[in-house]
C-alpha cells in the first residue's frame, strides 16, 4: 500500500476537540488506501509554557534537561491522538522520538537529524496500525539523551520521516489553506498558489514566510518529496487541495514572479571608514560566524583614499551581540565608527522565472522609487532579489511589488 505522512501543528491540536477533528482527517486517508504515519506538534502554547518553566527554574539551565522538559509537549499530543483514533475505530499507537528512533547530533535545543530507523513503524503498517509520532524530537544515541530540533522542528520531523519510510508524499496541515503570494493580512488580494517549486518555497521560507520551516523545505528538496500545505480546519469529508511544493518541472507554466516575502526581524550595521586591505572582510565576519550570527545583505563602498564603508544585516535579535563583538574587535578590524539601525525591514521578490527574464529587479526598484521608498541595501540570487528599507514603508512596498508583478487576485 502507498504510504503517507501527515503533520499537524500546534493550532491543529490545540484542544481535545480539535484532536478528534485531526483523527477524522487521518481516518479519511486510511480509507483512501494509505498506510499513514502522523507527526504532531505540542498543543498550541504548551511549548512556550514549558520553556518559561525552564527559565523560571534557572536562567542559565542545562540544555539537556531543557530538551527533556520541552519534548514532553509532543509526547502528550501523540498519546491523545492515538486515543482519539482508537475511539474512531482506527488501530493506532504513539511513538516518541527515542522509540522510532529519530537519531540526531548532540546540539541540544537545535539538533539536526542524522538518520531515522523506521522499521518498527513499517512493521506496524503490516498490522494495519497507524503510527502517531511525536515531532520536534529525537535522541542522541551515544549519550542516550532526548534532543529537540528547534522551533518548527515538527515540519522537519515529518519530511524526514516521509523520506525514511518511502512515502508517496508529505502533507503539512496548519491553520492556513496553502501558500499565498504574500501575507493575506498585508495584501487582501494575495492568492493561494496551487503549486510552488521547492527552490521558491525555500527562498520564501528563509525570507520571512512562516508557512513552513526552512530545514523542512531543504529536506523536501534533497529527497524530492512532494509536500502539500493544507488546512486542518477544512471539513475532513471535503478538504481543499492546498498548495503542492514540488519540482520546478512539475509546474506546467510558472510566472516570472511567484511571491513577495518580508521580514521585520532585521537590523542594519554599518562600519565607517574601514581600511581597505586584504583580509579585512574576514576580520569582520569571522567573529560573527564563530558566534553563530548569520549575516545576510552586504554592501561595500570603496572611496579613493583606500577606505571603505561596509554595511550588512543581521537578525534583530542578534544586533546587540553583533555590535558588542565588533566593538571588541575594533582594533583588529580598524574602523572609525559603527552605526546601527533596528527600524528596518527586508522585502523580497521570488520566482524561478527570473532566471530567464531580464530587468525584473530594475522594474521593482523603479516602482519603489515612484512610491518614495528609499532602498538602503540590495541582495540578489538567481531566483530572488531583496531590498532593505525603513520599516515604516514595509506594507507599502509589499503591496506595490505584489501589484507590479501581477500577483493580485480577487479582493
Residue ranges of the binding site for substrate: 47, 74
Q: Are the CB atoms for 111 and 151 separated by under 8 Å?
A: no
Sequence-separated (6 or more) residues with CB below 8 Å from residue 357: 256
CA–chain centroid gap for 299, Å, is 26
302 forms beta bridges with 308
Q: Residues within the annotated binding site for ATP?
A: 7-10, 174-175, 180, 185, 210-211
Question: What is residue 354's three-state secondary structure?
Answer: helix
Q: Are the CB atoms for 145 and 108 separated by under 8 Å?
A: yes
Half-sphere exposure of 179 (CA within 13 A, CB side): 32
CA–chain centroid gap for 187, Å, is 21
Can you tell me which residue has the cell 502522523? 38
Q: Residues within the annotated binding site?
A: 7-10, 47, 74, 174-175, 180, 185, 210-211
Sequence-separated (6 or more) residues with CB below 8 Å from residue 60: none
**Taking the CB of residue 359, how many other CB atoms lie within 10 A of it?**
9
Sequence-separated (6 or more) residues with CB below 8 Å from residue 337: 271, 272, 273
What letter does residue 251 receive in the DSSP assignment?
Answer: S
CA 206, CA 199: separation in Å to the nearest integer? Answer: 11
Surface-to-core class of residue 238, CB atoms within 10 Å of its CB (0-12 exposed, 13-18 middle, 19+ buried): exposed
Question: What is residue 228's three-state secondary structure?
Answer: strand
- For 129, the grid coordinates are 496500525
CA 292, CA 290: separation in Å to the nearest integer? Answer: 5
Kindly give the pairing relationship between strand 130-134 and strand 35-40: parallel
Kindly give the pairing relationship between strand 169-174 and strand 3-8: parallel
Question: What is residue 370's three-state secondary structure?
Answer: helix
Q: What is the DSSP string of 143-201?
A: TTEEEE--TTHHHHHHHHHHHHHT-SEEEEEESSSS-BSS-TTT-TT--B-SEEEHHHH
Amino acid at each position: 500500500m502507498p504510504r503517507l505522512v501527515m503533520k499537524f501543528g500546534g493550532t491543529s491540536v490545540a484542544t481535545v476537540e480539535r484532536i478528534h477533528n485531526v483523527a477524522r482527517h487521518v481516518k479519511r486517508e486510511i480509507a483512501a488506501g494509505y498506510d499513514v504515519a502522523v507527526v504532531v506538534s505540542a498543543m498550541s502554547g504548551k511549548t512556550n509554557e514549558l520553556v518559561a518553566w525552564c527559565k523560571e527554574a534557572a536562567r542559565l539551565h542545562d540544555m539537556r534537561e531543557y530538551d527533556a522538559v520541552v519534548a514532553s509537549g509532543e509526547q502528550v499530543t501523540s498519546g491523545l491522538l492515538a486515543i482519539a483514533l482508537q475511539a474512531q475505530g482506527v488501530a493506532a499507537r504513539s511513538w516518541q522520538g527515542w522509540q522510532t528512533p529519530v537519531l540526531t547530533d548532540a546540539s541540544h535545543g537545535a539538533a539536526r537529524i542524522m538518520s531515522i530507523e523506521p522499521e518498527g513503524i513499517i512493521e506496524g503498517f503490516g498490522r494495519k496500525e497507524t503510527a502517531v509520532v511525536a515531532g520536534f524530537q529525537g535522541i542522541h544515541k551515544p549519550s542516550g539523551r532526548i534532543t529537540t530540533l528547534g522551533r518548527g522542528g515538527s515540519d522537519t520531523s515529518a519530511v524526514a520521516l516521509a523520506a525514511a519510510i518511502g512515502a508517496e508524499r508529505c502533507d503539512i496541515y496548519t491553520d492556513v489553506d496553502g501558500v499565498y503570494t504574500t501575507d493575506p493580512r498585508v495584501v487582501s488580494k494575495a492568492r493561494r498558489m496551487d503549486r510552488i517549486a521547492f527552490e521558491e518555497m525555500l527562498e520564501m521560507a528563509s525570507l520571512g514566510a512562516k508557512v513552513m520551516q526552512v530545514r523542512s523545505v531543504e529536506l523536501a528538496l534533497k529527497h524530492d518529496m512532494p509536500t502539500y500545505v493544507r488546512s486542518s480546519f477544512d471539513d475532513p469529508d471535503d478538504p481543499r487541495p492546498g498548495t503542492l511544493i514540488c519540482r520546478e518541472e512539475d509546474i506546467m507554466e510558472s510566472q516570472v514572479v511567484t511571491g513577495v516575502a518580508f521580514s521585520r526581524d532585521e537590523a542594519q550595521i554599518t562600519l565607517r571608514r574601514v581600511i581597505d586591505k586584504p583580509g579585512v572582510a574576514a576580520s569582520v565576519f569571522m567573529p560573527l560566524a564563530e558566534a553563530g550570527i548569520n549575516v545576510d545583505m552586504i554592501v561595500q563602498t570603496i572611496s579613493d583614499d583606500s577606505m571603505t564603508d561596509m554595511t550588512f544585516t543581521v537578525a534583530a535579535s542578534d544586533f546587540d551581540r553583533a555590535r558588542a563583538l565588533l566593538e571588541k574587535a575594533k582594533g583588529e578590524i580598524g574602523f572609525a565608527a559603527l552605526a546601527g539601525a533596528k527600524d528596518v525591514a527586508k522585502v523580497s521578490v521570488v520566482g524561478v522565472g527570473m532566471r530567464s527574464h531580464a530587468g525584473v529587479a530594475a522594474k521593482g526598484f523603479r516602482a519603489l522609487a515612484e512610491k518614495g521608498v528609499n532602498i538602503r541595501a540590495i541582495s540578489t540570487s538567481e531566483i530572488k532579489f531583496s531590498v532593505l528599507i525603513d520599516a515604516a514603508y514595509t506594507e507599502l512596498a509589499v503591496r506595490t511589488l505584489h501589484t507590479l508583478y501581477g500577483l493580485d487576485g480577487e479582493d
